[in-house]
Amino acid sequence: MTAEPMSQRTTVRRGASHAEYGRAELLAILRAGPVAHVGVNTSDGPLVLPMAYGVTTEVMYLHGALANSLLKAGTGGVCATVTLLDGLVIAKTSFNNTMNYRSVVVRGTPRLVTDEAERLVALRVITNHIVANWEHLRPPSESELRATRIIALPLDEMSAKVRTGPPVNDDVDADAPHWCGEIPLVSAWAAPVTAPDAGAPVPSSIAAMGRNATKH
């Protein structure tokens, strides 16, 4: 465990030995994740949805249709979670089975992004978070921008839990004749498949994705 909790409500209590509070470490996890699960309270009850996102050193940007009920409700408070599964950890008893993972929880009250310059910055950040391709795309039209809602969730309250390493077996299982160990999870983007109406060759940033396996 490093650094100090950012707030009382982002202090890790269960599994505190796996807690991580270092800002650089938390940002690294957020930058590595492709999807955030975003939760809010709505008039119909709690709602959690997976969403694309982008981060700067200060905020997490989320976007969706203007009528997006989650983003509307989110201006009253949001909890966003990003989890990277790195592998399965198999012990000598199922009670001690676990996973190796990196997971960040961000809590806070986002603001609606209305400044036109920041809206373009936010969309570029979200797009390039997945693949640095913004510069190869047609810029969004005025009607597309009007139909898009963007919120900025400050990264002032966040914490992580991280587990790495082999299984921990009870003393009673030390000499038990059962296999134990780790099953790493490695994911990789396949080679891009060009659409029939593509008007340009594959950009280098996308082509590179098919050559780089990434541990998630």
| CATH number (domain holding residue 36) | 2.30.110.10
Domain span at residue 189 reads: 185-216
Q: How far, in Å, are 15, 94, 95, 171 from residue 177 at the CA level? A: 28, 14, 16, 13
Task: State the pLDDT at residue 181.
Answer: 97
Going by pLDDT thresholds of 50, 70 and 90, the confidence category of residue 45 is confident
Tell whether 191 is covered by a domain.
Answer: yes
- The tens digit of pLDDT for each residue in 85-95 reads 999 999 999 99
Going by pLDDT thresholds of 50, 70 and 90, the confidence category of residue 216 is very low
Paired with 65 in beta bridges are 148
* Strand, coil or helix: 32: helix
Strands 59-65 and 148-154, bridge-based pairing: antiparallel
Q: How far, in Å, are 41, 47, 49, 71, 143 from residue 44 at the CA level? A: 8, 8, 14, 14, 30
pLDDT of 214 higher than 50: no
Q: Kindly state whether residues 141 and 207 are assigned to the same domain.
A: no
Q: Kindly state whether residues 37 and 59 are assigned to the same domain.
A: yes
Burial class of residue 190, CB neighbours in 10 A (0-12, 13-18, 19+): exposed
Q: Which of 4-8, 142-146, 189-193, 208-212 is predicted with the least confidence, judged by mean pLDDT?
A: 208-212
Tell whether 161 is covered by a domain.
Answer: yes
Measured CA to CA, the distance from residue 133 to residue 67 in angstroms comes to 26
Q: How large a percentage of the chain has pLDDT more than 90?
A: 63
Give DSSP secondary structure letters for 84-142. Answer: EEEEEEE-SSGGG-EEEEEEEEEEE--EE---HHHHHHHHHHHHHHH-S-GGGSPPPPH
Tell whether 2 is covered by a domain.
Answer: no
Q: Return the higher-pLDDT residue of 163 and 191.
A: 163
Q: Kindly state whether residues 62 and 127 are assigned to the same domain.
A: yes
Q: Kindly state whether residues 190 and 172 are assigned to the same domain.
A: no
Find the mean pLDDT for residues 27-44.
92
pLDDT of 54 higher than 80: yes
Measured CA to CA, the distance from residue 144 to residue 10 in angstroms comes to 36
Q: Kindly state whether residues 31 and 78 are assigned to the same domain.
A: yes
Task: State the pLDDT at residue 65.
Answer: 79
Tell whether 1 is covered by a domain.
Answer: no
Q: Kindly state whether residues 19 and 88 are assigned to the same domain.
A: yes
Q: Kindly state whether residues 71 and 175 are assigned to the same domain.
A: yes
Cβ atoms within 10 Å, residue 215: 12
Q: Which of 121-125, 202-206, 209-213 is predicted with the least confidence, judged by mean pLDDT?
A: 209-213
Task: State the pLDDT at residue 205.
Answer: 86
Measured CA to CA, the distance from residue 18 to residue 40 in angstroms comes to 26
Q: Which of 4-8, 115-119, 178-182, 192-196 is predicted with the least confidence, judged by mean pLDDT?
A: 4-8
Q: Kindly state whether residues 135 and 214 are assigned to the same domain.
A: no
Tell whether 214 is covered by a domain.
Answer: yes
Q: Kindly state whether residues 26 and 124 are assigned to the same domain.
A: yes
Q: Kindly state whether residues 190 and 157 are assigned to the same domain.
A: no
pTM here is 0.87
pLDDT of 201 higher than 80: yes
Task: State the pLDDT at residue 212.
Answer: 59
pLDDT of 130 higher than 50: yes
Measured CA to CA, the distance from residue 204 to residue 119 in angstroms comes to 26
Measured CA to CA, the distance from residue 178 to residue 58 in angstroms comes to 47
